């Protein structure tokens, strides 16, 4: 999903229509992340900037960490998803971005702090995001209720002063469309 309400792997936008484009923890969770990356580059004008941010390692950061722990609690035998191979290290991300048509790459690892309220307010802040998390999105309503309960258990366990604070490493890359 993009800000325009379309599929990020097939944007309903004109070629080279933007001076700058951003995929912030987006393309890496698409079923076909290379297609999403190609679409991002396609809509970036020649000479424009494209920024991609992804998690350094799975399950990611923030709500992805909470979801992974909750899913393990409810489904202990569920295999974790395989990491998108192009997004596992700064070098590999750089190679994928070059292959997609970006040059003059600047890539760095940064520490990200994610902070939200605990309890039911947690769901108010992140509920919509859950629908984009592959394993959760495939659950039926009853299974989702079970996982939601496990999420609240995780959130209650890790909360301090009714806040959840999680730190993770992200890879941030900016390149210029050739």
Residues in the chain: 178
**pLDDT at position 47 over 60:** yes
Tokens (6 digits) for 109: 């690892």
pTM given for the model: 0.79
Res 6: pLDDT = 58
Average pLDDT, the chain: 88
pLDDT at residue 21 in the model: 95
Token pair of 116, please?
């939200």
Cα distances (Å, whole numbers) of residue 65 to 43, 103, 148: 31, 32, 14
Residue 4 or 160, more confident = 160
| Predicted local confidence at residue 174, as pLDDT | 97
Q: Kindly state the DSSP code that residue 6 receives in the 8-state scheme.
A: S
Using the structure block, give the residue that is written with the tokens 């947690």.
122
Using CB atoms within 10 A of its CB, is residue 12 exposed (0-12), middle (13-18) or buried (19+)?
exposed
pLDDT at 82: 67
Distance CA 116, CA 59 (A): 18
Residue 136 has, within 13 A of its CA and on its CB side, a CA count of 27
Say what the pLDDT of residue 98 is: 95
The span from the CA of 98 to the CA of 93, in Å, is: 9
pLDDT top residue among 134 and 156: 156
Per-residue pLDDT tens over the stretch 23-39: 988 766 777 888 888 99
Could you give the CA distance from residue 146 to residue 141 in angstroms, rounded to a whole number?
A: 9
So what's the pLDDT on residue 30?
75
pLDDT value of residue 117: 95
pLDDT at 85: 62
Residue 106 tokens read as 């600047």
pLDDT reading at 116 higher than 90: yes
Distance separating alpha carbons of residues 142 and 134, to the nearest angstrom: 17
Residue 174: both structure tokens together: 């900016």
* pLDDT at site 83: 64
In terms of DSSP bridges, do strands 18-24 and 44-55 run parallel, antiparallel, or are they unpaired? parallel
**Given this model, what pLDDT does residue 81 score?**
67
| pLDDT tens per residue, range 1-21 | 344 445 777 778 899 999 999
């Amino acid at each position: 999903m993009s800000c325009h309400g379309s599929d990020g792997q097939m944007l309903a936008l004109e070629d080279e229509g933007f001076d700058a484009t951003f995929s912030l923890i987006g393309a890496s969770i698409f079923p076909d992340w290379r297609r999403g990356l190609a679409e991002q580059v396609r809509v970036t004008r020649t000479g424009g900037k494209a920024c991609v941010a992804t998690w350094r390692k799975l399950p990611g950061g923030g709500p992805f960490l909470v979801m992974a722990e909750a899913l393990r609690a409810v489904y202990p035998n569920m295999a974790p998803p395989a990491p998108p191979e192009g997004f596992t290290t700064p070098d590999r991300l750089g190679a994928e971005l070059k292959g997609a048509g970006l040059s003059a790459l600047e890539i760095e690892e940064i520490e990200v702090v994610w902070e939200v309220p605990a309890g039911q307010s947690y769901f108010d802040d992140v509920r919509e995001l859950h629908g984009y998390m592959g394993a959760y999105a495939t659950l039926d309503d009853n299974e989702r209720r079970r996982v939601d309960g496990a999420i609240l258990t995780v959130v209650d366990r890790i909360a301090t002063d009714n806040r959840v604070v999680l730190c993770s490493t992200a890879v941030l890359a900016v390149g210029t469309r050739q």
